[in-house]
Structure 1
Amino acid sequence: MSPQSKSRKKKQGKAPGRRPENNSPYGALLESAAALRSESWLLADAWASELYATLWLAGSGHAPLIDALAAMDDPAALTALRALSGVGSAEHRTAAFEAAETVAARGAAEPSWYVPGIEPDFRDAYLVTNLLGDVEVVAFTQERAGVGETVLFMRQPVLGATAIELFATPDEGTKALLEDMIASTPDAFRDEITPLSATGVYDRVWPDVVQFWEDGPDEEAEEGLMGDEDVRHPVQLIALADARVSVLVPTEYEIPVISPERTDEVVAAFLASEHGIADVEAARAFAEIVVGAAVEQNRDPVVYGPASLTAVLILNVAARLHVSDADLALLPEIVRAWAYFTVDARDLPRDEARAAWDEEMPTVLAEFSEAYADPELAAERDGQFR
């Protein structure tokens, strides 16, 4: 989900003119890069990120393309290298930059948007969530050569990034994008926009970038890149996000880790709450699972919503643990009690948040039941619920 209003922003799309040439394996790429020469740095970065994703999905590697472009005396090759030097890992950016310097030294003309020595500087960032915190939107703006550029992450705890968008920051500022998003999707988000620091953005989003690369390509990633343009997938801008997020903090910065003691603290608080469960040991076993999963993911264990709770029920219970029939019968009551506990622990609007959980709970339990009945997951279980 991304902002829908078109009055304040311009979405960056694919570069125009990708007609292949017959005389070079890089003909189509060079023609596409040539079309970028008089465009914007923002569009060049989006183009380079998509190219990076294509190479990643194909498994062809980054180095052969960089080496080929470095050997060309062509302004289009220099444009491609300048664009590629702004996306991907620090190692890949450096390789593209050094190759670009080599081509430039031979006299190739620079693209109109390129300014030597300019790096994106953090301007501001904001967070928007839905009521139960299962969907987060992190929008952060960096300024480069006097131009504001906003990267918008939509993410879910446990699942990571579900969409990434890039915008030319409107004159009204970063908050204007989020105000448009909230207004255009009634009831989807809380009407609260919370400021974030650069480290606050990094702490939330960098693990998603790492998780994305570690999980590897999938069919949805390929469809998101090669299919209908309306299909958005993080693969399109993940290389750009990698570069933009990594420069938010010093190289020696480390994300704060949630203390293991938080597990005992939250489990005790849950058992002391008005959970109404007669079998306290079953309640304890469940709490230890969901709290432990959150701490392992470096998330505060009371920050659960329907999607994140469903994911943990499937990944940490259905796929790992044998649950007796008696405990399976108790789980709906325990899951609901846990959900209500997280509402109070986070000081959410109690009636509204509980009603939201009540609406989603049948789906949460049905998806868990379906997963628990899956023979493939059953074969993987090697532990006990209690």
Structure 2
Amino acid sequence: MSPQSKPRKKKQGKAPGRRPENNSPYGALLESAAVLRSESWLLADAWASELYATLWLAGSGHSPLIEALAAMNDPAALTALRALSGVGAADVRAEAFAAAETVAARGVAEPSWYSPGAEFEFREAFLVTNLLGDVEVVAITQDRAESLETVLFMRQPVLGATAIELFATPDEGTIALLEDMIASTPDAFRNEITPLSATDVYDRVWPDVEQFWADGPDEEAEEGLIGSEDVRHPVQLIALADARVSALVPKEYEIPTVSPERTDEVVEAFLVSEHGIADVEVARAFARIFAGAAVEQNRDPVVYGPASLTAVLILNVAAKVHVSDADLALLPEIVRAWAYFTVDARDLPREEARAAWDEELPTVLAEFSEAYADPELAAERDGQFR
């Protein structure tokens, strides 16, 4: 779900490269870096982030490349190192920065966009969601060397980042960028733009960054780098996101956690709501799975939408516990009751939100049923529902 932008907000892409003219293993890289010298820091960051991702997917590490570039008296090598010092994990950024300083000390010319000592300063951030709240866009605008840049994180609770986009912030501001996105994707988002603090952004997005690196590469990630321009994958800008998001808070900052007591609180609130289920113990057991899974993911249990509910049904029920046929027969009724409960608990527009759930629930239940019948998942189940 990539936001569309008008011409005034031209999205930065990767710099064009030329065929290498020598036999150096870094010939193509140096030629593409040379093009960046007169471009922008924003474009250099996007280029470096894709390079970082390529090295990560290849499993080759960053140090060999950084060491090779540090040995060159080449402006393109210095450009590559300056770009690499702005993306990825802190230790890699520090290694690239130290290597760049070594090359610059030999009198090699800096790229035109480089400003010594420039750091990101938080300016503003906003949240846009769909009606049921499990598709989010987090926009963060930061200032570097008097240039405003905006990163859009498209994400889903449980599933994490689904796409990342980078923009030079339009003169009209971040809100104008989001208004264009909302207008260009009718019915995809609520027409509400909520301000976020720097810590709000970090709390939401940093776990996605960590989850991405922990999960490791997959076929979609590789296709995101080598496929057509129509294929977008967060692997392309995840290294950039790592650096930008980590700059939002002090090193000692810790993300607040949802109290385990919230599980019992929400389960009891569900059971006294108008769920209309005769077998209260089955309702309690399913509700405890839904609420407990959210708390384990450090989410409030009432923040559910179709994507997050489907994910929890598959990951926490189909893949983990055996459920009797009698209890499975009650699942559709309980899932609908839970969905309606979350609408009221979050004060969403009741009729509109319930209608949205009614439209999505057949798909949610069909995907769960398919997963529960999967022999591979059945073989993994080692627990009992109740």
SS at match of 1:8: helix
Shift of residue 2 of structure 1? 2.4
SS at match of 2:257: coil
- Amino acid corresponding to residue 113 of structure 2 in structure 1: W
Alpha-carbon separation, structure 1, partners of 2:63 and 2:176: 40
What does 1:128-277 correspond to in 2, within 5 Å?
128-277=128-277
Q: Does residue 374 of structure 1 match 2:374?
A: yes
Shift of residue 230 of structure 1? 1.2
Alpha-carbon separation, structure 2, partners of 1:228 and 1:187: 27
Alpha-carbon separation, structure 1, partners of 2:6 and 2:153: 18
Q: Does residue 340 of structure 1 match 2:306?
A: no
SS at match of 2:7: coil
Match of 1:10 in 2: 10
Alpha-carbon separation, structure 1, partners of 2:22 and 2:78: 21
Shift of residue 4 of structure 1? 1.2
- Amino acid corresponding to residue 245 of structure 1 in structure 2: V
Per-residue Cα deviation, 1:248-286 (whole angstroms, up to 9, x for no partner): 000000000000110110000000000000000000000
Shift of residue 108 of structure 1? 0.5
Per-residue Cα deviation, 1:10-34 (whole angstroms, up to 9, x for no partner): 1111101232233200000000000
Q: Does residue 117 of structure 1 match 2:117?
A: yes
Alpha-carbon separation, structure 2, partners of 1:8 and 1:139: 18
Q: Does residue 80 of structure 1 match 2:80?
A: yes
SS at match of 1:23: coil
Match of 2:357 in 1: 357
Match of 1:44 in 2: 44
- Once the two structures are overlaid, the 10-residue window that deviates more, 7-16 or 312-321, is 7-16
Alpha-carbon separation, structure 2, partners of 1:184 and 1:263: 38
Alpha-carbon separation, structure 1, partners of 2:8 and 2:295: 39
What does 1:312-331 correspond to in 2, within 5 Å?
312-331=312-331
Q: Do the aligned residues in 2 keep the contact of 1:18 with 1:29 (CA within 8 Å)?
A: no
- Amino acid corresponding to residue 99 of structure 1 in structure 2: A
Shift of residue 178 of structure 1? 0.5
SS at match of 2:9: coil
Shift of residue 48 of structure 1? 0.1
Per-residue Cα deviation, 1:120-159 (whole angstroms, up to 9, x for no partner): 1100000000000010000000011111000000000000
Alpha-carbon separation, structure 2, partners of 1:8 and 1:39: 18
Q: Does residue 55 of structure 1 match 2:72?
A: no
Alpha-carbon separation, structure 2, partners of 1:209 and 1:267: 30
Match of 1:34 in 2: 34
Match of 2:64 in 1: 64
- Amino acid corresponding to residue 129 of structure 2 in structure 1: T
Alpha-carbon separation, structure 2, partners of 1:25 and 1:140: 37
TM superposition score normalised by structure 1 = 0.99
| Unaligned 5+ runs, structure 2 | none
Alpha-carbon separation, structure 1, partners of 2:266 and 2:14: 47
- Amino acid corresponding to residue 281 of structure 1 in structure 2: E
Per-residue Cα deviation, 1:212-246 (whole angstroms, up to 9, x for no partner): 00000000000011100110000000000000000
Alpha-carbon separation, structure 1, partners of 2:240 and 2:232: 15
Number of corresponding residues:
386
Per-residue Cα deviation, 1:165-211 (whole angstroms, up to 9, x for no partner): 00000000011111000000111100000000000000000000000
Alpha-carbon separation, structure 1, partners of 2:99 and 2:207: 30
- Amino acid corresponding to residue 325 of structure 1 in structure 2: D
- Give percent identity, aligned residues only: 89
- Amino acid corresponding to residue 305 of structure 1 in structure 2: G
Cα RMSD of the aligned pairs, angstroms, is 0.6
